[in-house]
Structure 1
């Protein structure tokens, strides 16, 4: 019996099916990776040079660039009244003296504004980086605690968080609480003004490093700081400014968050080992007496 000859198209069919299978197997992970990439930066407006990319894990990385012509920043389009705000940051490497990198909340720039700050003051090469934390309420500030970080914040990303509710403000570094600013009903505290989230990189030569003694060396620029993994688990204020806010359901455990025993231990550790400035110990700055909360901490 003569052998039946397959047509050219019949011979090609298995190969075509195999090729399609291979192509789809290649494209599916790529498509999954693409869909997994979420652009949190879309929640912000930007100023200056802000570069955006994705790392290998699919996390969006926003990088701020500072040069002699301009600093940079991004600002949330929404305002919040209480919440938990976190971000991972990789600071400027090498000689960053004179620069200031920030992650903070603010209600605006008026004389009666509220603000919660995490500011990273640039340092000379191999010198420790200072984290400045501060709280403003109704225009009343001057409540800084400054800490030397116990790691190199430019070598890799580290997590920074602000937890803000009507009881206290908690500052955290890599899930370690370093400071708790408590509310006292007879003292100023940010409770009513919605705040936007900001991140900036700017020239703070007049103040940042050794009280302004070490300015920026522009020959080391441009300077770049990177942010990723931003989250805001928070109550969104009404867009019309008419008051009220919408809070997440079932995810607002931060609303009742207060200092616990673990926080007390880590705050005490940070004070012993890292605290390098405490406004409650600066008698020269407060000749008429320390702010009221200093005697209650």
Structure 2
């Protein structure tokens, strides 16, 4: 089935991106925004293209040079081709400390011919276990596709090629915490997780197919940059619209999905979701509170 048209979706995220405000960062070069985090010898640079390598010695990972609060972060990734069973390629945002906030895309490799699964997860104040899994409407190993977090004080939206695949809504009115007070770094990595990644760990990594390569390009961060020396409360204030200071992510049109986006999300859930923690009564005999209030 073809994915619904995303053209109406674009205006919501692009119409306001032409307005650049103090504290926002935007770029497309890896070296301007990111730095290698570990296993430097497993990085391959080919012009604007970055490749991370996983072999039976090590994986590799990188992190953003700055931390951010609210905005949009996007990377184009081409996942490991062929037999990728046991491997995980992750793209995520996270703050520091035991009570951290985190938004995850985890791409779970599979045996040749079987579809990749994409696992998303959200941690708020150190509490996670909010996994959802979906397959995609395309082969993510054949070409580059964009994976995006859009984050403001009202919602966190996970997007694949500008199609929303998950929304986490601010439910503070129901007594639930929302990630809005901790600057987050941006990270990506590839590693061996054959104890759980493929069919619950039943299929192990076949190292005869190594090295496993994940390719990256199109690094974009249009978000509020938070200096390390500034207190969290002050960052929250400086990254929020007030008076004449207006940030695009606080525009009313981005407070919730528009009608077209809502239809897209419903389409994704109906046709591509294979696991949702909200319906896992074995893990959660009592339905998690946020699941009772989420419309999607």
TM range (shorter): 0.7 to 0.9
TM-score by length of 2: 0.82
Equivalenced residue count is: 254
Unaligned runs of 5+ in 2: 1-26
Q: Quick one: which of 116, 124, 130 aligns to 1:129?
A: 116
- Cα distance in 2, alignment partners of residues 65 and 264 from structure 1: 37
Q: Determine the structure 2 residue equivalent to 1:261.
A: 259
- Cα distance in 1, alignment partners of residues 158 and 151 from structure 2: 9
1:106-152 alpha-carbon deviations (Å, 9 max, x no partner) = 012x3211100011000111111111111100011111111101111
- Cα distance in 2, alignment partners of residues 137 and 218 from structure 1: 36
Q: Determine the structure 1 residue equivalent to 2:231.
A: 242
- Cα distance in 1, alignment partners of residues 199 and 154 from structure 2: 34
Q: Quick one: which of 249, 269, 272 aligns to 1:271?
A: 269
The answer to whether residue 152 in structure 2 is matched with residue 155 in structure 1 is: no
Tell me, yes or no, if the aligned pair for 1:114 and 1:190 is still in contact at 8 Å.
Answer: yes
Q: Determine the structure 2 residue equivalent to 1:51.
A: 44
Task: Please report how far the alpha carbon of residue 181 of structure 1 lies from its aligned counterpart in structure 2 after TM superposition.
Answer: 1.0
TM-score by length of 1: 0.81
Q: Tell me, what secondary structure is at the counterpart of 2:65?
A: strand
Bigger relative contact order, structure 1 or 2, given CA contacts below 8 A and separation 6+? 2
Q: Tell me, what secondary structure is at the counterpart of 2:66?
A: strand
Q: Quick one: which of 183, 186, 201 aligns to 1:197?
A: 186
Unaligned runs of 5+ in 1: 1-36, 55-59
- Cα distance in 2, alignment partners of residues 294 and 223 from structure 1: 37
- Cα distance in 1, alignment partners of residues 182 and 29 from structure 2: 27
- Cα distance in 2, alignment partners of residues 209 and 40 from structure 1: 30
Task: Please report how far the alpha carbon of residue 239 of structure 1 lies from its aligned counterpart in structure 2 after TM superposition.
Answer: 2.1
Q: Determine the structure 1 residue equivalent to 2:221.
A: 232
CA RMSD of aligned residues (A): 1.9
Larger radius of gyration: 1
- Cα distance in 2, alignment partners of residues 212 and 166 from structure 1: 37
1:74-99 alpha-carbon deviations (Å, 9 max, x no partner) = 10110011110011100000000110
Q: Determine the structure 1 residue equivalent to 2:197.
A: 208
Task: Please report how far the alpha carbon of residue 241 of structure 1 lies from its aligned counterpart in structure 2 after TM superposition.
Answer: 4.1
Question: For structure 1, which segment, 250-259 or 192-201, has the greater mean C-alpha deviation from structure 2 after superposition?
Answer: 250-259
Task: Please report how far the alpha carbon of residue 52 of structure 1 lies from its aligned counterpart in structure 2 after TM superposition.
Answer: 1.4
